[in-house]
Amino acid sequence: MSEANFKLNRRSFLQAGAVGTMLSAGYSANAFAQSETPHLSDYQPEYFTADEWKFIVAATDRLIPAEGDGPGALDAHVPIFIDRQMAGDFGNAADWYMEGPHDPDAPAELGYQSPLTPAEAYRAGIAELNALCQTEHGAVFAELDKQTKDAVLAALDAGEIKLSSTQGADLFDLLLQNTKEGYFADPMYGGNHEMAAWNHIGFPGARASFREWVGVEKPYPLGPVDISGKRG
């Protein structure tokens, strides 16, 4: 597309693109209603116990820390996302084949073979890790200093800390995957608060209409929208 065409189309795109396509595609009025997103400090976990919640908050805060440019996991409300996931279908392995026999010692390439659901694996793994931190460092994970927390997470990631209670489920992999999901998923799931993670990287969210941008090699100028229609 030539520069001249680009400018011409750009105006109509800005006028009609984002909002226009939404309205024409069966957008319902109530979808604009603000979802109630409690602040992290006021949030009452649905699944996690108070001790588990402290772990989730402390661990996600180290996996995506506040320091530096861009939101940390707590700014993005990642713990709320993880709690809701554990209370829902994912945490309960609702879609997974969970019939036995289970072989927790199976080769990793054969995939998840634990008899535990993700929610159960979190519960067992957090308790075991906290007990280990208590023994090794004199306090549960959430009460350790940043450097020690990072060292514990790095050891868990590297397999130097092995948790037997999760019966083959990898707590670190689950936690890291769910943390990134909560960072980048649509805000309706509780994380990515105010689309901060999308703004951080320049992902326009649910705009989903880029006809005028095919082959255009310059930064896309518009911020994100979420599925509820809110602009970031």
Partner 1 sequence: MARQEKKRDVVIVGLGWTGSILGMELCNEGLDVLALERGEDRDTVPDWKYPNVADELKYGVRYGFMQKPRNSTLTIRRDLSETALPYRHLGSFLPGDGVGGAGMHWNGHTFRPMAEELELRSYVERNFGADIIPDDMTIQDWGVNYAELEPYFDRFEKIAGISGKAGNLNGETVEGGNPFEAPRSSDYPMPPLDQTVDSNKFADAARKMGYHPYPRPAANASRAYTNPYGMQLGPCNFCGFCERYGCLNYSKSSPQTCILDALKRKPNFEYRTNAEVLKVELASDGKTAKGVTYVDANGEEVFQPADLVILAAYQLHNVHLMLLSGIGQPYNPRTGEGVTGKNYAYQTNGGTALFFKDIDFNPFVGAGSNGHVIDDFAINQIDFAAEGFIGGSYISSGTFNGQPIRSMRLPAGTPKWGAGWKSAIKEWYGHSMSIGSHGSNMSYQSNYLDLDPTYKDKHGRPLMRMTFNWKDNDIRMTQFMKGRIEELAKSMNPDIMQSGYKSKGAMYDVRPYQTTHNVGGAIMGSEPNKSALNRYLQSWDVHNVFVMGASAFPQNIQYNPTGTVGALAYWAVDAIRKDYLPNPRPLV
The residues of the shown chain that bind partner 1, judged by CB under 8 A, are: 21-22, 25-27, 31, 62-65, 67-70, 72, 89-90, 93-99, 101, 103, 106-113, 150, 153, 157, 176, 179-181, 184-186, 189, 197-198, 200-211, 213-220, 225, 227, 229
Q: Considering beta carbons, is residue 65 or 134 the nearer one to partner 1?
A: 65
What is the closest distance, in whole angstroms, from the C-beta atom of residue 46 to partner 1 in the complex?
17
Q: Considering beta carbons, is residue 48 or 184 the nearer one to partner 1?
A: 184
Q: Considering beta carbons, is residue 131 or 202 the nearer one to partner 1?
A: 202
**CA Rg, the chain, in Å?**
21
What is the closest distance, in whole angstroms, from the C-beta atom of residue 12 to partner 1 in the complex?
14
Give CA–CA dist 3/148, Å, rounded: 54
What is the closest distance, in whole angstroms, from the C-beta atom of residue 153 to partner 1 in the complex?
7
Give CA–CA dist 187/196, Å, rounded: 10
What is the closest distance, in whole angstroms, from the C-beta atom of residue 39 to partner 1 in the complex?
22
Q: Considering beta carbons, is residue 130 or 179 the nearer one to partner 1?
A: 179
Quick check: 191 and 81 in contact, CB under 8 A? yes
Quick check: 153 and 62 in contact, CB under 8 A? yes
Alpha helix ranges (H) inside the chain = 3-12, 18-24, 50-63, 78-87, 118-137, 146-157, 171-184, 196-201
